[in-house]
Structure 1
């Protein structure tokens, strides 16, 4: 009855009647080790037609004989799976996700994430440390990743220890932990053992260990698989391999850049060659050619000159009447394509010389550049250069003074050492005694009681 309810619910969720399996579908499915076919009750065979339904082999009890495993009462297995607890432990790439389900209800879940893999490196820190030798990094980032490795393993151990009663009561424990480091983080605390018969692997690819992924894996494992669809896929794959390779179709011809270049006005080639007399002659014949549009990217000659970084050509085209407000196919004006300061200054100088010729608010030019402003900029640059020169001079002078003081101190210390060497042992002992008594060989200073002036005797 439980099996019939499950099959009806899954049929209502999207199993179609129109799909039919081929004669060899069941044999092809038996060859697949992760799926076991299910014999439908007679009351459901008419509704499903020739459908073949199966479940994942990892859900069945483990036996040494595969035939004995396939003879297991799958209906009882499905009922038990819906009543008992099933645990999921996933660990990969610094991510950890654990859930315990009972039927379709999630009893408890927990996820962790630690920074253990360097960005764009693709290797865990523990794996790099295991290489040994000079490959072991000693940076601050590697120390942080090592600490996170330890904390992640500690967090997983504490969680599994707190979940031990639920894990002991679970019917199956699905573990997905690729790599030695990930497996040790789950099996190292001995709460879940490697040789536990309840531990199973996930029989299909999984994504990053997060809560949604664990829920997806649980739903897919607990659902009945349509055998006929996969049988069709296997037959289709064999037919695809048997088909002869067809000759490739001729490629569609598209107009090349050379063909497009033939349709361009000649002014563009003269701009790239910086041929000012030829450009002037063309404009003299037809003034509108100065603002002609290139068919490939909708650029004007002024766009090309600004993009090429020719400041002199930019000024020349502007003087001939080139429009600085035209936009190309991506909506950029010539000023936005300038590569350097010289080209940008050429636009600003032209605005200062011809302030009423164009609507410069559409050209993206920030401000005009008058001769007075250029003179002020030169003066500021000269002052800045002079200040930098003075600063370097003072720095050099300071270094020389420090070097001179250091040399004098070294000479003074050397003289003291030499004078100590020349003294005899008796004199050295006398000097040491004077230091202990706080007296010197010279007469001590005294202070006048009346005028309070210090003087030596």
Structure 2
């Protein structure tokens, strides 16, 4: 096998002008299928279009559909092969030529035909007997009929006369396109727009058509809508720019997966490409993401032609290739379930090569022959009767009750004094913690009295014993008696412990005192009251108890004073707001005056500041117009419009 490029001179020499026939061609319906359709249309219902026979009644037709001959012809039609007669089928089955009634024999022609159909290729043969295969889409569209006379003309047109191809790929927001002159790209462009929803796939337009909502539901949806419009504009601009070179191309090869991508190329009032264009071809094999490297790969694969010396060499080559069925079986996922109906494969394991003498003697096996010779085993048998009930007897107790009493009893391990004291202390702490949890003040007094009785005599010893009892840590969190009483909100016990030298400054492992570990208002008030009554007994800052807290009467007096101060502040604020409001009104009134009125008002205020009084009078009737807005013309001021008219009539203006 030899690979050539369709644009190379060597390929042109092989083709020459001697193409005479089409051997095999994949992707179209052949003449046998057409003959079956014509035959079935001309006959009546009581017939089989696959086996081409007629029946006298419906029963014989039903019986025919159960025959292996019919099944074989049915499979033959699926791979576009002509049917065989019943005699030929009998000869095949009699000579054992059929491996199965499937219509897919393992003949060389079948392998070549299967490969041509699966790969979308066409096999041609010239007059010299050389066979070459190339992709069918380079010569004609899949809907066109095949004729040997047009093969040479198509090859000359697409590969010799005009070697310019256009390849366009669009999918997933990626666009890649190029115009090739031979094997060299003369124009190329790639870009990407975010139009596919990450992790879920599908364009935003298809998502909108399913949801039915006109408005985007997120910022990403709005961005994808904008990018889809931008993608259409970019592709249109590129195709319009390349229009002259695309028109010169002999083939336009494209890939646009999905309705949205096809609408970019063929949709709209003025589509970029016309579907009726005879140069349009789809890529006949799987492709990856649309990139410039992938576009070049597509052009290289389509332009590659495989040349064989003769038909026999091509058949031998493709007979070694895996069939599509084998590829599909290879791609199947192995299931974790075990099919119990199938028999398991038997695994032949080798026998042990050498047996030791001791083991063979014990097992009754004897080795015959030399060590280097193959092993032969002889079995020796002995007839001996074995009483299986000999060693069995009724279960019984061999000891009498008297003997069992005399048996020494197992001694329990003695506990040490330290362990006993420790267990006693733990039980005492547990009992004390339960007493505090229940709030049993009477039992707490008894426990304290019992502890003082067991302590040493003397006042100092009793004080130390009392101090150690009320300040003992009872749990793993480091809480003392006062902490547990405060957490359980037992006010009487808290007061009792404080009166018996319980230290409020003790902290647990969370660095909390009895005051800070509780949220009870009564407990905190009791601790505050103890701090007021005993100001010098403890460091209450360390105990986190506020010592400057006021009594109820002092607190009420303080609140009363605060309310009084607040009312006075509100009165002052009202006065300030009133003054500010009057000032704003004066400002608004002054702003609504004309410039002449503002000057007059300023003059009046100057006179008032000098003499103390100002009287403004009408120029005609001498009425007092102080504080009023006068009527003016030419610097004259009047109290009413009637005075102004009378003054105008009395003193007319003469124009020079």
TM interval, short-chain normalised: 0.3 to 0.5
- TM-score, reference length from structure 1: 0.45
Bigger CA radius of gyration: 2
More helix by share: 1
- TM-score, reference length from structure 2: 0.32
